[in-house]
Amino acid sequence: MAIPLNHVRRAALATALLFVFSPVFADDTTDLSGVVVTATRTAQTQDQTLAAVTVIDRADIERLQPASLADLLLSTASLQIANTGGPGKPTSVFLRGTEADHVLVLVDGIKIGSATLGVAAIQDIPVEQIERIEIVRGPFSSLYGSEAIGGVIQIFTRRPEGAFVPSLSFGVGSYRSLNGSVGFAGKSGNGWYSLEASHNQTDGINSCRVGAAEAGAGCFADQPDKDGYHNTAVTLSAGYRFDDQWDADARLFRSEGHNYYDGSFSDSDKSATQVIGGRLHYRPSQNLTFTLSLGSSGDFSKDYLGDVFVDRFDTHRDIGSLQADIGVGGGLLSTGFDWQHDSLDSNYTFAEDTRNNRGVFVQWQQTFGRQSLQASVRHDDNSQFGDKNTGSAMWGWDFTNSLRLTASYGTAFKAPTFNDLYYPGYGNPALKPETSQNIELGLRGSYGWGYWTLNGFRNKVDDLITYDAATGLPGNVENARIRGVEGVVSGHVAGWLVSTTATWLDPRNETPGYDDGNLLPRRARQTGHVDLDRSFGAFSIGGSWYVSGRRYDDLDNTHPLGGYALTNLRVAYAIDRDWKVQLALNNAFDKNYETAWYYNQPGRNYMLTLRYQPAQ
């Protein structure tokens, strides 16, 4: 059901202003002292960061009861999702209006994603495996290299909380859905360990709307059946502190999915996302730390039509990093070397199936009284396209004890994928990286009742890679200009935990002669989100409301996607200190909507979950 645009605008505005005057009713404190690492590659508290950061921890995950990682991420300002047909189907993340492949995704510090498609399979990462998520909005290529044009999403897998803590969950829900997880974690002496396994399965929904074949849209096929999904994942990690100077940790994460969908070329796939890595820390003095990180990630996919094998794309990424953090003159100097080797194995023959990237970066962080500075530069040397330089400068001024003004400028880039460069009969090895220049101004306040932030940004993205009709190949032929304002308010109000976001976005194609002035596909100009939760003894209740304005599914802006609003409700009951039962009702008003043209989304659905974890 489409929502009138003026209603969406009012909702987004109301979300931003809803709790501006809430200090009058405040009775609690929102903690911003938690340590984050993604914004600087070093540890700092969330209130010290100069970047726009959202943190989602394990307590948030269990309170919100999200149906998927994509649903969990929707609470982030300036983040939008496009899903092609329900649970387990390919899901794109658009951060601050940039492309889906302009978001860098890390799992425990290791870059994941397909080197052929250029995106991470977030639909295959179950929330039961996640301890914490840090989302940093803005350009961060000067610290991480390619892909971080819109921002960075770092996922941390489960960690121990006590000497020995087992955990168990089991859920049943709509569409014959079954979810289960089991794990244990603990600490012993100077060591720690964690093991978590999970399995999810569902019969799903009909992923592609009937009529797609005639319209030449979506899956280009009419197959009115249920398209199920199975996922099994495991995380194994351990660490040890040898003495005050040396410590090390290692981890393995693997998620395997079996996905059914509609299509005439293929209609199912078997996929896997894998991360293996380890880190060694050496602290010879209080002002000097060395960190050596080694690891690899894999994105594996096999496509089938019925029981017949169609194709295979397996990409591997080997990664190494050496970083030194040096305390000098009251500031922190970080410098490091990153190495990356990408390789591809497929039943198709690519002209090139390996490439290397070497990156060197330097970052300076300093506080001068009430002012703070973060500046970084990076040089990348890629065996395919050569050199690329990026930089970033951030400044903050605490002009009162509660208010901080921030300003920043940064450049970023996105390397072309193997498909862009070498896909048989289509790739263009002459492609250049996509580049961006971003400026941002922000204001944030922190009080006893909670905090609020307001950020305005302008991002100019050049040499976007898309199909070039003049050559019949992909080319650097598009430019985009993205402007936006995002607001966040979070805190405790009259016993309720409240978190709200609102975003206004203007993502425009600025390519002369190529849909100049049109809106970029699948990105709404207005979005808003509200989470509201409260406990009453052993009971807790809550709700989430998400509203999105209309979008278009194509660059020509000829296929509109209507605005929509979703309501998710939840309740939980603590049977005792160790056992809890939860019930989530998603899309409570059974709204019919699409985030990608001709792809269905689940209607009203529920999930009933029983959890066990001994109280600490």
Q: Nearest 5°: phi and psi at 23?
A: -55, -25
Q: What is the reported pLDDT for 488?
A: 97
Q: How far is CA 602 from the centre of its chain?
A: 21
DSSP of 157-202 = E----SSEEEEEEEEEETTTEEEEEEEEEEEETTEEEEEEEEEEEE
CB-based contact 597:553 (threshold 8 Å): yes
What does the pLDDT look like over 201-243, one tens digit per residue? 999 999 999 999 998 889 999 999 999 999 999 999 999 999 9
Confidence check: pLDDT of 483 > 80: yes
Who wins on pLDDT, 529 or 160?
529
Range of 153-167, 455-469, 593-607 with top mean pLDDT: 593-607
Question: pLDDT digit string (tens) for 311-337?
Answer: 999 999 999 999 999 999 999 999 999
Rounded to 5 degrees, φ, ψ at 407 are -145, 145
CA–CA gap between residue 355 and residue 472 (Å, rounded): 25
- The pLDDT of residue 85 is 95
pLDDT at 1 over 90: no
Stretch 68-74: mean pLDDT: 96
Q: How many Å apart are CA 250 and CA 551, to the nearest integer?
A: 43
Q: Which segments of 97-140 does DSSP mark as H helices, in order?
A: none
pLDDT at position 144:
97
Q: What is the pLDDT of residues 490-526, one digit of tens each?
A: 999 999 999 999 999 999 999 887 777 899 999 999 9
CATH number of 5-164+315-612: 2.40.170.20
Grade residue 31 by pLDDT with cuts at 50, 70 and 90.
low
Residue 288 parent element (H or E):
strand 288-305
Other Cβ atoms closer than 10 A to 85: 30
What is the reported pLDDT for 29?
A: 37
With contact defined as beta carbons under 8 Å apart, do 342 and 421 qualify?
Answer: no
- Name 373's bridge partners: 366, 395
pLDDT in tens, 133-179: 999 999 999 999 999 999 999 999 988 877 899 999 999 999 999 99
The span from the CA of 342 to the CA of 316, in Å, is 6
Q: Write the CA distances from 169 to 393, 581, 612, integer angstroms.
A: 45, 9, 6
pLDDT in tens, 35-50: 899 999 999 998 899 9
Share of the chain above pLDDT 90, in %: 86
What pLDDT, in 10s, does the model give residues 79-126? 999 999 999 999 999 999 999 999 999 999 999 999 999 999 999 999
**CB proximity list for 217: less than 8 A, separation 6 or greater:** 559, 597, 598
Extents of the domains making up the chain: 5-164+315-612
Quick check: 22 pLDDT over 70? no
10 Å CB burial of residue 351 (0-12, 13-18, 19+) is exposed
- Among 333, 475, 341, which Cα is nearest to 42's? 333
334 contacts 349 by C-beta, under 8 angstroms: no
Nearest to 178 by CA among 135, 213, 126, 137: 126
Q: Name the pLDDT band for 472 (thresholds 50, 70, 90).
A: confident
Distance of CA 579 to the CA centre of its chain: 30
pTM of the model: 0.94
pLDDT of residue 5: 43
> Does 8 have pLDDT greater than 60?
no
**Dihedral sign for Cα atoms in the order 211, 313, 226, 588:** negative
| Residues 193, 181: Cα–Cα separation, whole Å | 17
Mean pLDDT of 348-363: 96
Average pLDDT for 434-438? 97
Question: What are 213's two structure tokens?
Answer: 């074949």
Which pLDDT value is given to residue 32?
58
Residue type, 383: S
Percent of the chain with pLDDT over 70: 95
**Whole-number average pLDDT of the chain:** 92
| Residues 154, 133 contacting (CB under 8 angstroms) | yes
pLDDT score, position 33: 58
Residues 6+ apart with CB under 8 A from 487: 15, 16, 77, 452, 453, 454, 455, 500, 501, 502, 503
Cα distances (angstroms) measured from residue 548 to each of 68, 74, 317, 339: 19, 11, 36, 40
Look at residue 14 and tell me whether its pLDDT is greater than 60: no
